[in-house]
């Protein structure tokens, strides 16, 4: 099965101590590796204002992770753990590999077009030169 | 559609878009260009809330394409990105005023 790419963001209550967040991260990482996935990147965005109230909080501690995995069961397990974890007030997983594939296709197409264009413009100039030479 | 097609044929150097609606063509409306196309954006990141915020109204509604000038493809990606951002509380569903 092909590899999938996910973004996972979760928000903790703003008064959560840092070690607590690290503990959640550790359990998530362990769960991911158990399900044959791996954590590619972890970013702690820190406390940010929420756009709306979530469980009566106006602020939240954001943690952003990039995951790779092959089975959907990994996400199910991670989300279950996030649901159970007490300080977590919100989480979201987004599957991104298809969009990345689309993006790469677009980039490749543009590069091909760019590669073609310079060839097109010097061509008439070269034609003129040969005409002038003859 | 027919009305829109007429002005460019009369005036030789008509501006491409936006003028078709007015009978008197005193007003030039500058043609808006998709911001994402000029920047060559292939993926609209839902995490960049400050960028996305420029494409929603103060109340948090999506701005229509005719206002922002975004092309259809990018508007589609943009709406997707904004909806994701809303889900994780980066953008409001409806901001209270």
pLDDT per residue rounded down to tens, chain B (97 residues):
444 444 443 333 434 444 555 566 666 777 778 888 888 888 888 999 889 999 999 888 999 998 888 999 899 999 999 999 999 999 998 877 6
Same domain, yes or no: A83 and A110: no
Question: Residues A91, A109: one domain?
Answer: no
Say how far apart CA A56 and CA B71 lie, in whole Å.
38
Contact list, B93 vs chain A (CB under 8 Å): 51-52
Q: How many CB pairs under 8 A join A and B?
A: 37
Q: Which residue has the tokens 């974890």?
A: A85
Whether residue A64 is found in the same domain as residue A108: no
Residues 6+ apart with CB under 8 A from A11: A50, A54, A60, A61, A62, A63, A88, A89, A90, A91, B88, B89
Neighbouring residues of B70: CB distance < 8 A, sequence distance ≥ 6: B34, B35, B36, B55, B78
Q: What is the CATH number of the domain that holds A47?
A: 3.30.70.60
Angle at A11 between CA A70 and CA B49, to 5 degrees: 90
Domain that includes residue B39, residue range: 32-97
Q: Are both A86 and A120 inside the same structural domain? A: no
Domain containing A106 equals: 100-133
pTM of the model: 0.71
Do residues B62 and B15 share a domain?
no
User: What's the structural domain count of chain A?
Assistant: 2
Closest residue by Cα to residue A29 from A74, A94, A70 = A74
Q: Which of B37, B21, B29 is nearest to B72 (CA)?
A: B37
How many domains, in total, are found in chain B? 2
Domain identity same for B49 and B84: yes
B40 touches chain A (CB under 8 A): yes
Q: Are residues A16 and A40 in the same domain?
A: yes
Q: What are phi and psi for residue A48, nearest 5 degrees?
A: -130, 160
| pLDDT per residue as tens digits for the range A77-111 | 899 999 998 899 999 999 998 888 888 888 888 88
Which residues in chain A have their CB less than 8 angstroms from residue B86's CB?
Answer: 51
The verdict on a CB contact (< 8 Å) between A52 and B84 is no
User: What CATH number should be reported for the domain holding residue B65?
Assistant: 4.10.640.10
What ipTM goes with this model? 0.73
Nearest to A9 among B40, B42, B88 (CB): B88
My answer on whether A64 and A21 are in the same domain is yes
């Amino acid at each position: 099965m092909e590899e999938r790419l996910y973004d996972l963001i979760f928000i903790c209550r703003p008064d959560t101590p840092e070690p607590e967040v690290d503990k959640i991260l550790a359990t998530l990482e362990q769960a991911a590796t158990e399900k044959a996935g791996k954590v590619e990147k972890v970013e702690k965005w820190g406390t940010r204002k929420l756009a709306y109230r979530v469980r009566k909080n106006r602020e939240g501690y954001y943690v952003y992770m990039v995951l790779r995995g092959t089975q959907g069961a990994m996400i199910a397990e991670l989300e279950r753990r996030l649901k159970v974890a007490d300080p977590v007030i919100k989480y979201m997983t987004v599957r991104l590999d298809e969009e990345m594939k689309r993006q790469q296709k677009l980039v490749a197409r543009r590069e091909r077009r760019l590669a073609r264009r310079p060839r097109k413009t010097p061509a008439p100039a070269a034609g003129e030169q040969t005409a002038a030479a003859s | 559609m027919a009305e829109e097609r007429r002005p460019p044929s009369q005036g030789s150097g008509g501006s491409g878009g936006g003028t078709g609606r007015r009978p008197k063509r005193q007003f030039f409306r500058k043609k808006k260009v998709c911001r994402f196309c000029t920047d060559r954006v292939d993926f609209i990141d839902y995490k960049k809330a400050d960028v996305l915020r420029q494409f929603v109204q103060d109340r948090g509604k999506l701005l229509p394409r005719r206002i922002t000038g975004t092309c259809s493809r990018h508007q589609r990606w943009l709406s997707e990105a904004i909806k994701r951002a809303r889900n994780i509380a980066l953008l409001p569903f409806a901001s209270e005023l």
